[in-house]
Amino acid sequence: MYLGLRDNSGPWTLRDRALAEGLSAYQAGRNQYGIPYSEAFDGENNGAFTVTPRIDQSIAAIEQWRIDYPDQAKERGLVLMVSLETDNTVIEVE
């Protein structure tokens, strides 16, 4: 995992670091929906954006779990792990 550290003893090459820092700079210039801030805050774009509703099924599953198990959902430090189960195959997502 890249943490921005300058320690050259790890598996990250100079190119790896440059790419990670470039991606970090790119992401810093965008909002949570991937729209550049320069476009998102431009008053000329008022009314120009469209919204397409979609349901994130992994978030829906967690929200349903919290409804189904309210006592467990109050557990301090609880981290919910989501896995995708299709055709008897389990894909762990962390």
Determine the pLDDT at residue 10: 73
Residues 16-72: pLDDT tens digits?
889 999 999 999 999 999 999 999 999 999 999 999 999 999 999 999 999 999 999
Which residues touch 17 (CB under 8 Å, ≥6 apart)? 2
- pLDDT at 9 (0 to 100): 66
C-beta of residue 51 within 8 angstroms of C-beta of residue 35: no
- Residue labelled with tokens 């431009």: 42
pLDDT score for 51 = 94
What pTM, to 2 d.p., does this model score? 0.54
Q: How far apart are CA 66 and CA 82, in angstroms?
A: 13
Strand partners, 91: 84
